[in-house]
Chain A
Amino acid sequence: MNPRINYILKQTIVASAFICASALTYSCQSNSADQTLPILGSREPVERVVDGKTIVDTVYHQIPDFAFTDQDSQRVTQETVAGKIYVTDFFFTTCPSICPKMKSQMLRIYEAYKDNPNVVLLSHTIDPAHDTVAVLKEYADRLNVETAKWHFVTGDRDSIYDMALQYFVGVQEDDQAEGGFAHSGDFMLIDQNRHIRGHYHGTEQEDVDRLIKDMEILLKEQQHEEK
């Protein structure tokens, strides 16, 4: 065979293999666009009767109403996150152990979604006695983040600890723990109906990558519902 034709043939085979491969991966990706996230937490079947027929609805664990105060002294409630998806965590500003790592990962999420009006970040302090509005303000200012996008909230101690339970995040005052509080570095992903849709380790880069992808999926799902 003419070596030149041989060369062209080889190139063509390589090129078409490449196209096939990318087409395959592409179709894989578009599949994942249709992916949905599970709803976490307890679920209860609830029966109701419509036109003489019994229909069974499933009622999922839903985050109850709440009221806290953010770094700009604004009230933050369920209204603040209405119609939006949000990521939430529990921390305290003087925490020496896992919080800096959590906050540097949360910053990545902030940077990824800061221009998306349908996303909010909500960080609760578990040390409200120390983390006053002024302390949270200074903290947020130093991170150079916008309040409307990332609320650092403080409030009544018991309400905060009760909310942590609702989000399935473990927090506890503990003299033995570094900084005086024991807590998990969890990030929870909440949808526009205040259902918990994902749970991630806020100190692990790969898991936060997964969260950033899951947020994409959840935002698509939200768009579909609105149509």
Chain B
Amino acid sequence: MKKSRFIVGFFGALALITLTQCFTDKQNQGQKLYVQHCLSCHMEDGSGLRGLIPPIAKADYLQTHRDELACLIRNGADGPMVVNGIEYNKEMPGVHTLREDEITNLLNYIQTNFGNNNKRYTMTEVEEMLDICPVPHGK
């Protein structure tokens, strides 16, 4: 009896550890992907580059265009875009190689960091958004 309780406890703890590990990994994956693909332009603190590259930090765009961001990451963007009242117009390259789960983690990372406190995405949600991406410009 005592032994089985111990075993249950042991596996319970193990499951808990794996679970939390999994969560922190997801957080880390979002951050890692940001560092790898986005930081060079949007900067460490998400501030962007004055007039040329819009900020991620406290950007209204993240909320007002929430449903378009999955496609934006995959296919990039060009043409004028207004972020926090300032117009930007420069090409952003897409990262075509990112999987749905990676895009979800990346989006959740930017929506909840850099002073942002926005709604998270589920993977199903992101998959649905990616299914109906507009055809990228000039491609």
Residues on A facing B (Cβ under 8 Å): 94, 96-98, 100-101, 103-104, 107, 139, 141-144
Could you say which residues of chain B place their CB within 8 Å of the CB of A101?
A: 40, 43
- In angstroms, Cα B39 to Cα A100, docked, is 10
Residue of A96, A101, A139, A142 most packed against chain B (CB within 10 A): A142
Q: How far is the CB of B80 from chain A (nearest CB, A)?
A: 12
- In angstroms, Cα B41 to Cα A101, docked, is 7
Residue B51 lies at the interface, judged by CB distance under 8 Å to chain A: yes
Q: How far is the CB of B95 from chain A (nearest CB, A)?
A: 11
A100 touches B50 (CB 8 A): no
A100 touches B41 (CB 8 A): yes
Q: Kindly report which residue of chain A lies nearest to residue B42, judged by CB atoms.
A: A100
Q: Kindly report which residue of chain A lies nearest to residue B52, judged by CB atoms.
A: A142
- In angstroms, Cα B50 to Cα A104, docked, is 8
Could you say which residues of chain B place their CB within 8 Å of the CB of A139?
A: 52
- In angstroms, Cα B40 to Cα A142, docked, is 18
A100 touches B40 (CB 8 A): yes
Q: How far is the CB of B34 from chain A (nearest CB, A)?
A: 14
A103 touches B49 (CB 8 A): yes
- In angstroms, Cα B47 to Cα A122, docked, is 24
Could you say which residues of chain A place their CB within 8 Å of the CB of B49?
A: 100, 103-104, 107, 143
- In angstroms, Cα B56 to Cα A141, docked, is 22
Could you say which residues of chain A place their CB within 8 Å of the CB of B41?
A: 96, 100
- In angstroms, Cα B43 to Cα A107, docked, is 14
Could you say which residues of chain B place their CB within 8 Å of the CB of A96?
A: 40-41, 93
Residue of A104, A141, A143, A144 most packed against chain B (CB within 10 A): A104
Residue B129 lies at the interface, judged by CB distance under 8 Å to chain A: no
- In angstroms, Cα B37 to Cα A97, docked, is 9
A142 touches B50 (CB 8 A): yes
Residue B33 lies at the interface, judged by CB distance under 8 Å to chain A: no
15 contacts between A and B (CB under 8 A): A96-B41, A97-B40, A100-B40, A100-B41, A100-B43, A101-B43, A104-B47, A104-B50, A107-B49, A141-B51, A142-B50, A142-B51, A143-B49, A143-B50, A144-B50
